[in-house]
């Protein structure tokens, strides 16, 4: 990829001269889709990013949100940070290093806000599970995430895994990180004062990752796995762990004025963005950068995306103390320049190689005005599948089967904050500093947004909120990772526009500000574009750290909150049932008052009479019921309608199964908000019996566990 002719003309006009080689490369990377959001920024104003708990919204390395105060009336003085990023193309070329460095990057975004990372969530998307290449990518990505996260001691507690044929040539790896800080420790990425020094701390700079930002802004070629290998960074989690602890001490001693992680476009990206935010400049002497490879030229030093590096703004009197701390943690440290009130200037061995206005470099890229094509609504064409065969197929599908093979490779308890770990509707992290539990849910639903981008994205937001409410928490804030194909294709951009608008609309309805995020476009390959994929990482807060379990006890009544899909009203569009047996249908309608549903569910989940709660979504009621039974507790369920497939398999979000000692209390709570349908009772024999229409499905926890072990069985 090179600087486009139209962009070069703008640069020449601004500089009144031809750019140097280093300048051209810097503009190419910082004006790429990956960095400048040229096709997506015009759409992002749809998101509401403000709220009384929002301390820092979009535009920094990570967002900052205040947890509610102790009486729940406003913002408290304990802050969390939230960030999310994609490492899609690198993970196709090199699944282990691509995924590992994605974790490293989002953790350093957390460090740059003066926060300590306390939790990770990964949302992963691959081609069909039975394809050998998909399994290779899947195994490599999970290994990369687990290796890096386990080594740095940050628990991976939540996430999702989806398989869809349209990811065959371009998997997605989206990673979110939550950090912990407070007002006194808060740092931003905005430079503060001319004369302050710029200090580079961390690993030495090599040639790895050159052109990574521009590589992420173009379609994957057929030979990408070999030709694009130099654009993939190589991570060192042990150095990252040292950097985490060094950063903590630097923040504790108030030595940092501003900070930026070296990610896309390397030193050039981090340092120029830092000063551009303050409308300042910098003078950097590139030869001062500590290097691990000989004979590096100016452009390589400027743009290499070597990992585990931070750029700090430091007052001159504090530079030596910063150096001492870096050396104590066996980290490299270079004083590379200073903040100025002029241009962004880089020299190399006495020669000026970059001399540009920092704001123009960071914000001058022209936005794209692209045409869109609305997706067509699917016709209704339903399969005639045997009900028991369908139950087995949907429960055993890799999309709805157990993800234990994935999360058991992650140390999800390191840090001793994990109260509810992966495998549940949402994780809960104990924030003891505020005596609150932080619920975390992350994921998307490619089947939904492939069929109906706008409604599917609304459903993704509602499902994440329902996951959080099922643990007794109420949504607080969210970050998104918006993944799409080549935006220059009208239908692809139409689908991408749909997921942006749908996600924004539902998050605003739920009063959940979207405080930051990431955009990844050009996820297109010889296999075609990916489904529009709006990964949402949402957090919610609650008093205390306990939550109702997902599994039922051996005594109590089971009710469904939400639409059962009676009398043929169930819509199966986007369902795993149709993915398994082919067919098409409209996407389900969503609840009329989703906010009240979520708030009421959270309150009922925390009620003493509630024994278990489980969100109903992917795979529909069939999968939700199967997931709730254990060897010691079963369910006898009667579905009263006349549309067995619709009732069992439609995937309308915003629904939940509740096991309770007081059905009447649940009815009263949801009166006027959502229907409450009595489904049956718990048993002590571990069996699941579902009477639906004139059919009966009978199975038990052991058989269900065997069906749901699809991924483990295939990979071990």
Tens digits of residue pLDDT in 681-713: 999 999 999 999 889 999 999 999 999 999 999
Contact 97, 231 (CB under 8 A): no
Q: Say if residue 224's pLDDT is above 60.
A: no
Residue 34 falls in the annotated catalytic set: yes
pLDDT of residue 543: 94
Q: Say if residue 215's pLDDT is above 70.
A: no
Q: What is the mean pLDDT of the chain?
A: 94
Contact 475, 459 (CB under 8 A): no
Tell me which of 1-10, 456-465, 563-572 is least confident.
Answer: 563-572
pLDDT of residue 481: 97
483 annotated to a ligand binding site: no
- Taking the CA of residue 573 as centre, how many other CA atoms within 13 Å lie in the half-sphere pointing to its CB? 22
Residues 115-145: tens digit of each pLDDT:
999 999 999 999 999 999 999 999 999 999 9
261 annotated to a ligand binding site: yes
518 annotated to a ligand binding site: yes
520 annotated to a ligand binding site: yes
pLDDT band at residue 641, thresholds of 50, 70 and 90?
confident
Q: Say if residue 227's pLDDT is above 90.
A: no
Residue 618 falls in the annotated catalytic set: no
Average pLDDT over residues 632-654: 93
Which residue in the list 34, 283, 412, 618 is annotated as catalytic?
A: 34
- Polymer length of the chain: 716
Nearest to 475 by CA among 528, 540, 384: 540
Q: Say if residue 220's pLDDT is above 70.
A: no
pTM over 0.85: yes
249 annotated to a ligand binding site: no
Nearest to 605 by CA among 417, 424, 403, 401: 424
Written in H, E and C, the secondary structure of 48-106 is CCCCCCEEECCCCCCEEEEEECCCCCCEEEEEEEEEEEECHHHHHHCHHHHHHHHHHHH
328 annotated to a ligand binding site: no
User: Whole-angstrom Cα distance, residue 547 to residue 131?
Assistant: 38
Q: Say if residue 40's pLDDT is above 50.
A: yes
Contact 331, 205 (CB under 8 A): no
455 annotated to a ligand binding site: no
pLDDT of residue 229: 47
Strands 332-340 and 197-202: antiparallel
């Amino acid at each position: 990829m090179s600087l486009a002719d139209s962009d070069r003309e703008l640069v020449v006009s601004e500089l009144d001269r031809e750019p140097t080689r280093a300048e051209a490369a810097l503009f190419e990377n910082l004006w790429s889709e990956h960095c400048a959001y040229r096709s997506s920024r015009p759409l992002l104003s749809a998101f509401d990013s403000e709220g009384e708990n929002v301390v820092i919204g979009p535009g920094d390395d990570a967002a900052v949100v205040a947890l509610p105060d102790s009486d729940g009336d406003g913002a408290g003085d304990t802050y969390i940070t939230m960030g999310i990023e994609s490492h899609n193309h690198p993970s196709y070329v090199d699944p282990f290093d691509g995924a590992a460095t994605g974790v490293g990057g989002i953790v350093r975004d957390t460090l740059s806000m003066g926060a300590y990372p306390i939790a990770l969530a990964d949302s992963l998307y691959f081609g069909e599970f039975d394809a050998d290449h998909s399994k290779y990518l899947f195994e490599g990505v999970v290994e990369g995430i687990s290796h890096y996260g386990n080594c740095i001691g940050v628990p991976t507690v939540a996430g999702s895994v989806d398989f869809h044929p349209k990811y065959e040539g371009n998997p997605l790896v989206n990673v979110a990180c939550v950090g912990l800080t407070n007002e006194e420790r808060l740092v931003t990425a905005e430079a503060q004062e001319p004369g302050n020094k710029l200090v580079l701390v961390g690993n030495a700079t090599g040639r790895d990752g050159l052109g990574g930002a521009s590589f992420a802004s173009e379609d994957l070629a057929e030979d990408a796995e070999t030709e694009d290998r130099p654009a993939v960074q190589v991570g060192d989690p042990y150095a990252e762990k040292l950097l985490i602890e060094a950063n903590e001490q630097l923040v504790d001693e108030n030595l940092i004025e501003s900070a930026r992680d070296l990610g896309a476009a390397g030193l050039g990206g981090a340092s120029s963005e830092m000063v551009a935010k303050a409308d300042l400049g910098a003078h950097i002497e590139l030869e001062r950068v500590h290097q691990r490879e000989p004979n590096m030229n100016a452009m390589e030093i400027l743009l290499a995306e070597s990992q585990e590096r931070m750029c700090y703004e430091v007052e001159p009197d504090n530079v030596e103390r910063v150096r001492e701390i870096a050396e104590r943690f066996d980290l490299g440290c270079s004083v590379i320049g200073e903040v100025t009130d002029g241009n962004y200037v880089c020299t190399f061995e006495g020669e000026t190689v970059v001399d540009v206005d920092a704001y123009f470099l960071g914000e001058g890229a022209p936005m794209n005005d692209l045409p869109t094509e609305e997706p067509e609504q699917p016709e209704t064409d339903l399969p005639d599948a045997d009900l028991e065969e369908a139950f087995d197929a949907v429960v055993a599908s890799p999309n709805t089967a157990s993800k234990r093979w994935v999360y058991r490779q992650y140390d999800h308890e390191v840090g001793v904050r994990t109260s509810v770990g992966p495998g549940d509707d949402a994780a809960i992290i104990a924030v003891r500093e505020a005596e609150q539990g932080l619920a975390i849910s992350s994921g998307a639903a490619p089947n939904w947004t492939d069929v109906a981008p706008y409604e599917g994205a609304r459903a993704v937001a509602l499902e994440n909120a329902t996951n959080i409410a099922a643990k007794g928490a109420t949504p607080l804030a969210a970050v998104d990772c918006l993944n799409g194909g080549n935006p220059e294709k009208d239908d692809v951009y139409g689908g991408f526009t749909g997921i942006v608008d749908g996600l924004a609309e539902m998050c605003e309805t739920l009063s959940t500000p979207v405080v930051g995020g990431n955009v990844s476009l050009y996820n297109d390959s010889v296999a075609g574009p990916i489904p529009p994929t709006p990964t949402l990482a949402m957090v919610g807060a609650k008093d205390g750290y306990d939550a109702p379990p997902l599994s039922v006890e051996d005594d109590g009544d089971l009710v469904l909150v939400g639409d059962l899909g009676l009398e043929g009203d169930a819509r199966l569009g986007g369902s795993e049932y149709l993915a398994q047996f082919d067919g098409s249908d409209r996407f389900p309608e969503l609840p009329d008052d989703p906010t009240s549903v979520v708030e009421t569910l959270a309150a009922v989940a925390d009620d003493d009479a509630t024994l278990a709660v489980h969100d109903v979504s992917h795979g529909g009621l069939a999968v939700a019921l199967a997931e709730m039974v254990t060897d010691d507790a079963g369910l006898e369920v009667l579905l009263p309608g006349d549309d067995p497939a619709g009732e069992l398999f439609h995937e309308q979000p915003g629904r939940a199964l509740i096991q309770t000692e007081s059905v009447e209390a649940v009815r009263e709570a949801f009166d006027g908000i959502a229907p409450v349908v009595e489904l049956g009772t718990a048993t002590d024999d571990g069996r699941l019996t579902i009477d639906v229409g004139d059919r009966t499905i009978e199975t038990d926890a052991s058989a269900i566990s065997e069906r749901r072990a699809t991924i483990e069985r295939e990979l071990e």
